[in-house]
């Protein structure tokens, strides 16, 4: 399952490689709209590596249906026949939620972070490198893609009978605390806005 997923990402990467410059221009838009200047690079191979990373990121999103199908096929042998009927809804909705999470990160969360951080640094000369920009952006897009999978995971676990609504409500406060702790660790910047 891992090898099939890696091959799917590699094939999608090859397809995205030819459009890496266009994809990067699209990914740069929140930065430009927030008043950011041109991104800079500090190493000779920086732009080349950036295009590779952009193509890999786009490849992950493009290959997400295949990756999520492989996740399902990995889980499937441990399920009863009635539970196996959830295959199509699982694959379709997890893919849609993952893509929706990435798009939410691109359209709403990441622009908020960029505007906030640029406003904090307005007293200084702006030199944002392509490495730091892409690192922060990819963490937010992939992170929110995974976070948007949480409702599907809860539905799936409830359908399997592993969790109940009462249990979820009883542990709600602890779940919020745990989510904030995890968010504090995985947030790419130390500001509270990004963590929230």
Q: What is the pLDDT of residue 155?
A: 83
pLDDT at position 188 over 70:
no
Q: Give residue-wise pLDDT tens across range 74-105.
A: 988 887 787 778 778 888 899 999 999 999 99
Residue partners of 141: CB distance under 8 A and separation at least 6: 57, 61, 102, 105, 106, 110
Spatial separation of the C-alpha atoms in residues 160 and 76, rounded to whole Å: 12
Q: Check residue 40 and report its DSSP letter.
A: B
CA terminus-to-terminus distance, the chain: 34
Closest CA to 70 of 99, 51, 94, 40: 94
Spatial separation of the C-alpha atoms in residues 18 and 54, rounded to whole Å: 11
Q: What is the pLDDT of residue 37?
A: 84
The alpha carbon of 148 is separated from its chain's Cα centroid by a whole number of angstroms, namely 9
Q: What is the pLDDT of residue 189?
A: 67
What mean pLDDT is predicted for residues 40-60? 93
Closest CA to 50 of 61, 63, 62, 40: 40
Backbone angles phi, psi at 129, to 5 degrees: -85, 155
Q: What is the pLDDT of residue 65?
A: 94
Q: Are 141 and 109 in contact (CB under 8 A)?
A: no
pLDDT at position 138 over 70:
yes
Q: What is the pLDDT of residue 104?
A: 94
pTM for the full model? 0.81
pLDDT at position 72 over 90:
no
Q: Are 117 and 140 in contact (CB under 8 A)?
A: no
How high is the mean pLDDT of the chain? 88
Spatial separation of the C-alpha atoms in residues 134 and 146, rounded to whole Å: 18
Separate counts of helices (H) and strands (E) for the chain: 12, 0
Q: What is the pLDDT of residue 57?
A: 95
Q: Are 39 and 28 in contact (CB under 8 A)?
A: yes
């Amino acid at each position: 399952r891992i090898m099939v997923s890696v091959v799917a990402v590699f094939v999608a990467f090859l397809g995205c490689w030819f459009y890496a410059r266009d994809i990067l221009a699209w990914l740069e838009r929140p930065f430009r709209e927030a008043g950011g200047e041109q991104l800079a690079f500090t190493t000779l191979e920086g732009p080349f590596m950036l295009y590779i990373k952009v193509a890999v990121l786009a490849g992950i999103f493009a290959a997400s249906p295949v990756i999520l199908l492989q996740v399902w096929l990995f889980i499937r042998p441990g399920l009863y026949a009635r539970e196996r009927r959830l295959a199509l809804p699982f694959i379709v909705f997890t893919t849609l939620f993952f893509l929706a999470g990435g798009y939410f990160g691109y359209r709403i969360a990441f622009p908020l972070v960029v505007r906030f951080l640029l406003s904090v640094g307005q007293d200084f000369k702006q030199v944002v490198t392509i490495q730091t920009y892409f690192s922060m952006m990819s963490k937010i897009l992939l992170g929110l893609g995974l976070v948007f999978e949480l409702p599907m995971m809860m539905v799936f676990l409830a359908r399997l009978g592993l969790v109940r609504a009462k249990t979820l409500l009883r542990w709600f406060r602890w779940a919020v605390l745990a989510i904030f702790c995890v968010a504090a660790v995985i947030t790419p910047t130390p500001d509270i806005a990004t963590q929230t």
